Structure 1
Amino acid sequence: MSSTIEIERKFLVKSQVFKHQAFNKTHIKQGFLSTDKERTVRVRLKGNKGFLTIKGASSNDGLSRFEWEKEIKKEDAEQLFKLCKKGIIDKMRYEVKLGNHIFEIDEFFGDNKGLVLAEVELNNENEIFEKPNWLGEEVTGDIKYYNSQLSNQPFKTWK
């Protein structure tokens, strides 16, 4: 079990080059027990591991928020999916190391097919980091790109 203040920036991805640079790739399925703006409660299967995660409200700029996470049994995660709200997220996560940072790139499937997002976790909000050439527009703080929102308003419904 761990709790932290998560500081991350989020970007659109403009090419598939990251796939050739990835050192790891993991299938992720996740659902939400709560998508309240003050707290989201997420159930996740990441490969064969289950997780229960609670995230607090984002800071005004969207850069940071409290996160609590506990690993749970795969079977428990599968049972909790039955209680989740409609709109399960299905994605492949690629990890790319660049300098001192690891970018997590999510390629979405299902109702969010066509959307590819990259996140980089930082030690502080002003930290400088190297930006790969496949990184597109920054969307940090834009709630429509939060997974909890993508489960309610999937990419395929956007205009």
Structure 2
Amino acid sequence: MQEIERKFLVQDDSYKRESFSKKRIIQGFLNTHKERTVRVRIKGLKGFLTIKGKSNKAGTTRFEWEKEIPVVEAEALLKICEDGVIEKTRHEINVGKHIFEVDEFFGNNHGLTIAEIELTAENEIFKKPKWLGKEVTGSIKYYNSQLSINPFKNWK
């Protein structure tokens, strides 16, 4: 139940040519407390409820618990979420022995694209594709829970 992840900005849309999967995601937050977040997500035709704990000092590792729920329940829960629903398309790309998840945001976060990679250890080595930009691991403003509160459109 531990998630080890690194996040990066994306330099261009060349990742789309390498994508083997593309799904629309709508998500909201029932709780965005600094110690934990409770997220409701519809990804494709599936619903999920996820609880994430506070990140470690490096921002790479935190507790994560996720359970698939019926879409109808996820839709009902989205109606009672805090303001700031996140809309994005997730592209999955094989790079070496890893899969990068690249989120292309819409709505109030239009123009922002973030790549994430899940690792088995904080110091695990991985291949970096050419489209990968600046690392933003641990930068709280790039967490989806914070993008729902302070969207990318307000950063300018």
The whole-number CA distance in structure 2 between the counterparts of 1:130 and 1:75 is: 39
Aligned residue identity for 2:94: K
The one of 48, 52, 61 equivalent to 2:49 is: 52
**Selected match of 2:122 from 119, 122, 125:** 125
Partner of 2:81: 84
Secondary structure of 2:13's match? coil
Q: How far did residue 82 of structure 1 move?
A: 1.0
SS in 2 for 1:44: strand
Which amino acid counterpart does residue 118 of structure 1 have in structure 2? A
Corresponding residue of 2:95: 98
Q: Distance in 1 between matches of 2:3 and 2:89?
A: 21
1:32 maps to what in 2? 29
Listed one character per residue, the Cα deviations across residues 19-45 of structure 1 (whole Å, up to 9, x for unaligned) are: 000000000000000000100000000
| One-letter amino acid of the structure 1 residue matched with residue 59 of structure 2 | G
Q: Which runs of 5+ in 2 are unaligned?
A: none
Cα distance, 1:111 vs. partner? 0.2
| Residue of structure 1 equivalent to 2:106 | 109
Aligned alpha-carbon RMSD (Å): 0.4
Q: TM-score, normalised by structure 2?
A: 0.99
Residue 137 of structure 1 aligns with which residue?
134
Amino acid at match of 2:134: E
Gaps of 5+ in 1: none
Query: What is residue 150 of structure 2 aligned with on the other side?
Result: 153
Number of residue equivalences: 156
Matched residues in 2 for 1:22 and 1:9: separation?
A: 19
